[in-house]
Amino acid sequence: MQDGTGPVTNLERLSESTSPADPVLLGDAGAVKALAAGRIGDPFALLGPHPSAHGTVVRAYLPPAEAVAAIDRSGVVLATLQPLPTPGLFAGIIPTGSAYRLRIHWPGGRLQETEDPYSFGLLLGELDIYLLAEGSHLELGHCLGAQPRSIEGIAGVRFAVWAPNAQRVSVVGDFNVWDGRRHPMRKRVEAGVWELFIPRLPAGTLYKYEILGPHGLLPLKADPVALQVEPPPSTASVVPDATPFRWSDANWLEARSANNALLHSPLSIYEVHAASWRRVDAQGGRSLNWDELGDQLIAHVIGLGFTHIELLPVMGHPFSGSWGYQVLSQYAPQATFGEPSAFARFVDRCHAAGVGVILDWVPGHFPTDAHGLAWFDGTALYEHTDPREGFHQEWNTAIYNLGRREVHAFLVSSALHWIERYHVDGLRVDAVASMLYRDYARREGEWIPNKYGGRENIEAIEFLRHLNDAVAQRFPGVLMIAEESTAWPGVTRSSQDWGLGFSYKWNMGWMHDTLRYMKLDPVHRSYDHHDMTFGLLYAFSERFVLPLSHDEVVHGKGSLIGRMSGDTWQRFANLRAYFAFMWTQPGKKLLFMGGEFGQDWEWNHDGQLDWLALEHPLHRGVQQLVGDLNRLYREQPALHVFDCDSAGFRWIIADDNSNSIYAYYRQGHADSAPVIAICNFTPVPRLHYRLGAPRAGVWREILNTDSEIYGGSNLGNGGRLESSTTPSHGQPFSLELTLPPLATVLLRHGG
């Protein structure tokens, strides 16, 4: 018999003459039956090469192949594999020690040549298996998932997935017509991990896992450690391109590692929902991709003077209405905006422009979509079994079981993955309060106390400490920011001092108090004067970021400008005065997109920012002010050096509630000029207002939110003031100044 590739060998004739009933070819009957039924737990015991008295028996299960031959690397037929009684199962004998490939004839005349996945030995190394079994592997992005690589000189993809309670796991995709019988995986029992090398799969191949759980077949599952995913609403994982990204930010990373998490540097963050920042109206309102955002968003941020962009979660998520906070792919960027290399290119461009990148990251909960992590191997693997611990009632999501070592490591490894693979400069950890308290959003009887009978989640505390320590050790200078809305002590203290180890914490109390005040009619503000001063009672108990975040412009709360009181002019004046108050208060700064120009309406994740508003001078004035505030914040050491230290702040006037006036000075190092901020939160100009000053001499008016360039009435102090020796407000000198209506004025000592 000839097939056009070479002469028939003696062993081929032996194979052809061997009865299909010969046990040498058939293998174990129970294993064959389990294979055909899709229940085989150890496919390598049956498939692939096996020594025999006549040579090496090769078995391949390839339904619906019509014929299969084993060939050597030059294409010479070593054996024609015989069809066995089980449809799709072929077997034959080749010379002992021969390297072989399979030549497969598929229906329709398609011919395929490939190495046999079952001819390869163990894939994961002993150290990987040890760390996986221990639950301490922190480089899962290199270990699990679909990893393109060459083994024995053969290019292909190594798949590995943790599913300890599964009876069988298979890789499925277009390459095997999604038939879970075709590529069952080998179980590394000691770690509960399944592995398989599939030769010749190209980048871009779609795949999932078919899992037979303890109680039956599960819906097809996406890869928990997928490095690339399909755009929603599709849900498959994608074999990534193995080509290394060529970074150009070595100098940026070196400077970052020496910057001590920006403690004494300006940190001004522009918070962005990438999908709705700007859309392409001419193309159905689609979102910008990463390259387009690189062209437009970076220029916008540079023009406004922000130091960092913070992106709402860009990890793969199936539902856009979650804004990214219901993450299912903790290792892959959302495909809506382009391939992973495009996201890396965006970060690289940010760094080239001097802009840092912070990602929102969600380790507290995950959605229960059937293709995701929920009951991944037929058991509560990533989540708690008991809904009193494992189900988040507010968000209808599952809660990670942080007490399980493997889950703990899965999440810490994810955080490290984004910093290592994509060079991001920080992670803002979402919903930390929901992780810290076992009774969060639960009534009595709906939660389980910890082992000491308390409400604190001990496993979450250990996780957060380990997370922050691991980041600090491996990537010094990377920011870790907590969204923590309670008075939990020591969020930004080191773990060695029994803290949680974060770099910064969002000051949610400051945000809520001050926005409540700004919403009041000025006539009533005197009764709530403390709303603007209360935050200073605890301002230095943690290292804080002052956030005006996305949460404050959704769910019927309206826009920032919409929450200011008064007529149109007064609302804009209020917002300008408030922004200057915020930028001169202790703490780093964060502003959600749209706030920088006073967008009129509430944020809509399905729309885009109201860019047309910038045709109006009052909106342009707000944007001009934000840019100037960021410039002053960077240029004036007094406004940032001691953002987190009480040495940098002193009240001058905190009790003038009848006039709704506040005044304070900011101080940097001794060789830098102090800055005084004076806020008038009434529409009444205050003429000849005497203000205490800590130093004698000239004080320059470096910013006035009532300036006409911002849309104000242009009432001010002519650019400079001279102090008098008259003491006031506990200060040895004083200034007599004009306070514009609904305005903040900044004065700097000296020329």
The residues that are catalytic are 430, 483
First to last CA, the chain: 98
Alpha carbon distance 740, 596 (integer Å) = 22
H helices then E strands: how many in the chain? 16, 38
Which helix or strand (DSSP H or E) is residue 505 part of? strand 504-506
* CA–CA separation, 235 and 222 (whole Å): 7
Contact 323, 550 (CB under 8 A): yes
Q: Which amino acid is at 221?
A: K
Contact of 546 with 587, CB cutoff 8 Å: yes
Neighbours of 99 (CB within 10 A): 14
Q: Is the dihedral of CA 325, 331, 334, 340 positive or negative?
A: positive
How many Å apart are CA 160 and CA 581, to the nearest integer? 53
Type of residue numbered 525: R
Contact 304, 597 (CB under 8 A): no
What's the sign of the alpha-carbon dihedral 74, 80, 84, 88? Answer: positive
Angle at 163 between CA 62 and CA 43, to 5 degrees: 30
In the DSSP assignment, the letter for residue 243 is P
Measured over the CA atoms of residue 324, residue 328, residue 331 and residue 336, the dihedral's sign is negative
CB-count burial class (<10 Å; 0-12, 13-18, 19+) for 387: middle
Phi-psi region of 114 (alpha: psi -120 to 50; beta: other; left: phi over 0): beta
Mutual angle of helices 568-584 and 508-519, in 10-degree steps: 150
Pairing, β 479-482 against β 329-333 = unpaired
CA–CA separation, 297 and 51 (whole Å): 62
Burial 66-85 (b: 16+ CB within 10 A, else e): ebbbbbbeeeebbbbbbebe
Coil/strand/helix, residue 746: strand
Q: What is the 8-class DSSP label of residue 617?
A: H
- Taking the C-alpha atoms of residue 462 and residue 452, their distance in angstroms, rounded to an integer, is 15
Are 481 and 502 in contact by the 8 Å Cβ rule? The answer is: yes
Handedness of CA 548, 550, 556, 562 (dihedral sign): positive
Give residue for tokens 């979402």: 430
Q: Are strands 315-316 and 329-333 parallel, antiparallel or unpaired?
A: antiparallel
Q: Dig out the tokens for 97 from the structure.
A: 């020690």
3-state helix/strand/coil string of 408-448: HHHHHHHHHHHHHHHCCCEEEECCHHHHHECCCCCCCCCCC
Six-digit token string for 468: 């922050």
Alpha carbon distances (Å) from 74 to 5, 70, 91: 9, 11, 21
- The 3 state secondary structure assigned to 291-309 is HHHHHHHHHHHHHHCCCEE
Cβ-proximal residues to 380 (8 Å cutoff; 6+ apart), any chain: 390, 401
> Within a 10 A sphere around the Cβ of 579, how many other Cβ atoms?
24
